[in-house]
A = this chain, B = another copy of it.
Amino acid sequence: MNKINNYEEQCAFQEILKIIGGKWSMSIIYILFSGKKRFNELQRTVPHINTRMLVKELKNLAEYKIISRKVFATVPPTVEYSLTEKGKKLEPIINDFYNWGVDNLYEYPGK
């Protein structure tokens, strides 16, 4: 009854992780749960990320329609990022994931 564990499922898993398993993706999505954010806001909120990485991740997430990018033709330019419906569906999952981590990982201080 358990169709888990076949080779194709594993490959699918790896594809999924390639998209949102990166170093920064989850952090960015996590931040966007609280609403749309501008580029600089994101950069300030995600610890240690740099411009290039943030641009790259945002582009990637937008490509898969997890986030949407809205440009306002103002001076200076304004760009807003927000979650799409797909992205919003991740909220409970990522929250569970985060909570699991806090509950189960943090009693191990040392590397």
A31 in contact (CB, < 8 A): yes
Q: List 19 A-B contacts (CB under 8 A).
A: A2-B34, A5-B45, A10-B46, A12-B102, A12-B106, A13-B98, A13-B101, A14-B23, A16-B97, A16-B98, A16-B102, A16-B105, A19-B101, A20-B101, A21-B21, A63-B108, A64-B108, A89-B100, A96-B96
Please report A residues at the B interface, Cβ cutoff 8 Å. 2, 4-5, 7, 9-17, 19-21, 23, 26-27, 30-31, 33-34, 45-47, 63-66, 86, 89-90, 92-93, 96-98, 100-102, 104-106, 108
B100 close to A90 (CB less than 8 A): yes
A68 to chain B, nearest CB (A): 14
